[in-house]
């Protein structure tokens, strides 16, 4: 019963967040690419975040990491693949100049973090959050 209520709450909360914040962002003239890379991504990632946070709190960190990695791989291969089958996707200048290099940098950093102590420490998590802030700042100030 608790699992069902929690699942429904996560789904409703994410849906409300995405629809309302998207409307507000469009009202202020935020481009669709930035909305999708930040606001929609946040709303669709909230379920994975909640599940991973719960797993970490219950001392099942591997489940949390597997959930995040699995969801991202699924999103890239399934969602992007099926969307591309329907209609070719156009790669924007921002994607080539900012998004791809940032993804590659993040991938290298995560590999380095993985081999330091076989886990991601708090300070490494802090670096990841700082990288997110830098990425969002670059995106908003240089591509809006």
Q: What is the pLDDT of residue 127?
A: 92
> Within 13 Å and on the Cβ side, how many CA atoms surround 86?
6
**What mean pLDDT comes out for the span 127-143?**
86
Q: Tokens 């789904």: give the residue.
A: 11
pLDDT for 130 beyond 90 = yes
> Within 13 Å and on the Cβ side, how many CA atoms surround 51?
19
Model pTM score: 0.65
Q: Say which residue, 95 or 129, is predicted with more confidence.
A: 129
Token pair for 32: 């669709």
Please write the tens of the pLDDT for every residue from 55-112: 888 888 777 777 777 777 887 788 788 888 988 888 888 888 888 899 899 888 888 8
Alpha-carbon span 63 to 77, nearest angstrom? 21
Gyration radius from the chain CA atoms: 17
pLDDT for 133 beyond 70 = yes
pLDDT for 54 beyond 80 = yes
Q: Locate the domains of the chain by residue range.
A: 1-89, 90-144
CA distances to 4, 14, 57, 123 from 40, rounded to whole Å, are: 24, 9, 26, 27
């Amino acid at each position: 019963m608790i699992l069902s209520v929690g699942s429904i709450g996560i789904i409703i909360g994410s849906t409300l967040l995405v629809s309302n914040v998207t409307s507000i962002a469009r009202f202020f003239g935020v481009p669709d690419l930035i909305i999708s890379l930040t606001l929609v991504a946040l709303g669709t990632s909230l379920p994975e975040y909640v599940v991973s946070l719960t797993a970490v709190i219950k001392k099942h960190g591997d489940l949390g990491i597997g959930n995040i990695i699995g969801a991202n791989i699924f999103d890239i291969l399934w969602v992007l693949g099926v969307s591309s089958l329907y209609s070719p996707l156009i790669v924007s200048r921002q994607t080539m100049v900012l998004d791809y290099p940032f993804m590659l940098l993040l991938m290298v950093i995560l590999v380095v973090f993985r081999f330091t102590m076989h886990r991601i420490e708090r300070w490494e998590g802090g670096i990841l959050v700082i990288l997110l802030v830098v990425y969002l700042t670059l995106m908003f100030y240089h591509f809006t």
